[in-house]
Amino acid sequence: MAERHDVLVVGAGPAGLSATLFLRLSGRDLDVLALDRLQGERRSRYHRICGGGVSRRAFRGLDPIEPWGAMEEISRALLRWPGGVETEQTIDGHIIDRPRFLDELAVRCREEGAMLERGSVVSVVPDGDGYRARLYDGSELRARHIIGADGALSVVRRDLFGTRPWRIMAAERYLVEGDAEPGTLVFHMEQRYRGGYRWEFPCGGLVNTGFPRGTDSVEEYLDRGCRHIPFGGVGPVVEGDALLVGDAAAQANPVSYGGIRAALQAGRQAASAVAAGKPDLYRRWWERSRLSSPWYLKAHEAMSSWSDEDMRAAAAPFQGRSRALPLLRRLIEAPRDYHMYVAYGMALRDSW
């Protein structure tokens, strides 16, 4: 007979571990098992492929989760646009060592009584009043509820929802020697990045840099990797007693591509809904959340089609300090830019 649990969490990244921890903290004494297909150095290497930027705001309402593994304090974002235009924004956050952060989060999950095991789920099917998951080793697990936190190629989403992310971007990440601008997230905005950007973040005395695959190159580096970032949503995030969180739900932001904040918050909200016996509460939260605002997709689609000159003209009113008259003139000449300004302002505040 298949092993039975109250909740099976498939995937143990930020979303899966957040859901696992808050399920155990819900007061319901739920039997929670979280599975992760990656272990050891393979797991660490996978999670290092990340910019690691997380705002202080991201941790509000997530106690006892903290920015464990913080390597750098971040106080500003610098956007470099075509034509020599630079715009600057005061922000407040951290660069975290993502593997260290997840290791600490896993410790907290175990301390609260959750089970974390290695396992690769290859199929999931409805089974009576719950679900049955078959693992790569041939074993099976049954659970009343299932939370899919299994990334861009989610098996839970494929088998129970039959949906795909609106878009998936392959991002290359490099660790290089050099002097990063202290406390600063630097973004290079150009047409060749196809609605994305090249980033340069401080990383413990080195520079963490990256871009959409095939749009740029790095000659010398200490470490490199590539991961797929799904964004733009997948449609429903709840189907019966199955829920999708994090990359499985394509919750990364379409403007900033930041996904850690959304993953942690979604994990908490999914856990709360499951513990209450009302999974649809999670759907309603996500649809109403600023994290899923349609403004972001509109901005991404527009930026993807812009030339370097379009970008320069749109950013010019914000060079240095925003100037009211040039901005008003720009909005009269190109009212389409309004949603871009709103989306980028929201992204700097809410998406990381």
Same structural domain, 267 and 202: yes
What angle do the packed helices 337-350 and 294-305 form, to 10 degrees?
A: 120
Statement: residue 332 has pLDDT above 70: no
Identify the weakest region by mean pLDDT among 40-44, 180-184, 211-215: 40-44
Q: 82-132, pLDDT tens digit by residue?
A: 999 998 889 999 999 999 999 999 999 999 999 999 999 999 999 999 999
Identify the weakest region by mean pLDDT among 61-65, 186-190, 198-202, 336-340: 336-340
- Shortest CA distance to 102 belongs to which of 44, 22, 34? 44
Task: Quote the CA–CA distance of 314 and 149 in Å, as a whole number.
Answer: 37
CATH code for position 244: 3.50.50.60
- Please give the tally of structural domains in the chain: 2
Task: Quote the CA–CA distance of 191 and 305 in Å, as a whole number.
Answer: 8
Which residues span the domain enclosing 302?
Answer: 295-350
Tokens of 57: 């705001």
Read off the pLDDT of each residue in 314-322 and give the average, rounded to a whole number.
74
Token pair 């812009």 is found at 306
DSSP state of 57: G
Kindly state the percentage of the chain with pLDDT values over 90.
Answer: 79
Task: Quote the CA–CA distance of 156 and 146 in Å, as a whole number.
Answer: 8
Same structural domain, 288 and 311: no
Whether the Cβ atoms of residue 336 and residue 302 lie closer than 8 Å to each other: yes
Same structural domain, 76 and 204: yes
Same structural domain, 212 and 158: yes
Same structural domain, 237 and 300: no
Same structural domain, 200 and 314: no
Same structural domain, 149 and 201: yes
User: Residues 304, 351, 43, 130: what is their CA dihedral angle, to the nearest 10 degrees?
Assistant: -100
Same structural domain, 194 and 308: no
Read off the pLDDT of each residue in 134-159 and give the average, rounded to a whole number.
97
Whether the Cβ atoms of residue 206 and residue 52 lie closer than 8 Å to each other: no
Give the pLDDT confidence score for residue 298 in this predicted structure. 87
